[in-house]
DNA sequence: GCTTGACCTTGTAGCCACTACAAGGTGCAT
DNA sequence: ATGCACCTTGTAGTGGCTACAAGGTCAAGC
């Protein structure tokens, strides 16, 4: 499978895949006679793993850790759990922040009387 | 007021203030005899406005627009409202995404039996 | 008057996770 | 043989800062 096909199967782009390779998240695949990257099911599975983790908001550093943990199935999954739990707490924090922010924005927009900028509540709130 | 004092008053850093100046968000202030930036209440107010907008999640481009709208108080605040409403919708979208993500993460972490990586639900979910 | 130390100056490079080219090579259909 | 989609490498840009390095300024203390 060439890089474009792999990209389509994983919802990425060729650029992103090459970027992952450059940064060591994906290993260098074998090449065809014409020097094209040639991917198989192993690389597909690995990239799918990476994409799922990224979609769940894990950083590339966390993905790297998760990948190396997944590579040793006999190990305790304590480390995996701790990465995921930490990330969950981080997401909870962000959710809280965003909810507060939303409330403020909502009030601001609701209070706007659609008059002149001089009396605009939005500008007033921002001006303090 | 020198840059450090302005930074302390606005919860920023001197680096950030200089960055805002470089990118045209803040104008170049007058200088003291010793070539130090010399800020007054106008700049303080402007920076506070910027910080509030940034804290509410507006992009720098949006802040730029809001600032130029705020500078003309006789104008209709339609444009202001539209920027804020658009941003609110964007925040709502992000909130939705984050809530979904949190649910998935929560399930993943809850299902983990704290055994070996080989049976780890977290790894399984990521592997698909 | 001289030193110390906190602050300031400019300039450059780095962060994350991509994204967007440019300039050229490959491979298949017409 | 030509066109076209795809691939290659390399480099630079995005947003919103952040982190230096190498040097200048200024007030306080000795």
Distance A9 CA to C24 C1' (A): 27
Give residue-wise pLDDT tens across range B20-30.
999 999 999 99
Residue B51 covered by a domain = yes
Neighbours of B120 (CB within 10 A): 28
Query: Is B73's pLDDT higher than 90?
Result: no
Are A77 and B52 within 8 A, CB to CB? no
Q: Compute the C-alpha angle A53/A87/A48, nearest 5°.
A: 5
Across A12-36, average pLDDT: 96
User: Helices B41-55 and B3-10: crossing angle, nearest 10°?
Assistant: 40
Give residue-wise pLDDT tens across range A35-76.
999 999 999 999 999 999 999 999 999 999 999 999 988 888
**HSE (side-chain half, CA atoms, 13 Å) at B124:** 13
Give residue-wise pLDDT tens across range A83-93.
999 999 999 99
Structural domain harbouring A48:
1-59
From the centroid of its chain, how far is CA B18?
Answer: 17
User: Which CATH number do you get for residue A26?
Assistant: 1.10.1660.10
Confidence band of B98 (pLDDT split at 50, 70, 90): very high
Total structural domains within chain A:
1
Chain D nucleotides with an atom closer than 7 Å to a protein C-beta? 6-10, 15-20, 24-26
Residue A100: closest CA among chain B residues belongs to which residue?
Answer: B56
Residue B70 covered by a domain = no
């Amino acid at each position: 499978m060439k890089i474009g096909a792999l990209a389509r199967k994983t919802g990425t782009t060729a650029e992103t895949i090459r970027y992952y390779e450059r940064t060591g998240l994906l290993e260098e695949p074998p090449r065809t006679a014409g020097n094209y990257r040639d991917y198989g099911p192993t690389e597909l599975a690995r990239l799918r793993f990476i994409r799922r983790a990224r979609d769940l908001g894990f950083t590339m550093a966390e993905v790297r850790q998760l990948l190396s943990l997944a590579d040793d199935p006999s190990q305790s999954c304590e480390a995996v759990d701790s990465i995921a739990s930490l990330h969950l707490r981080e997401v909870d924090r962000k959710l809280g922040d965003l909810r507060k922010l939303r409330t403020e924005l909502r009030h601001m927009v609701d209070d706007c009387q659609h008059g002149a900028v001089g009396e605009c509540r939005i500008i007033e709130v921002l001006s303090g």
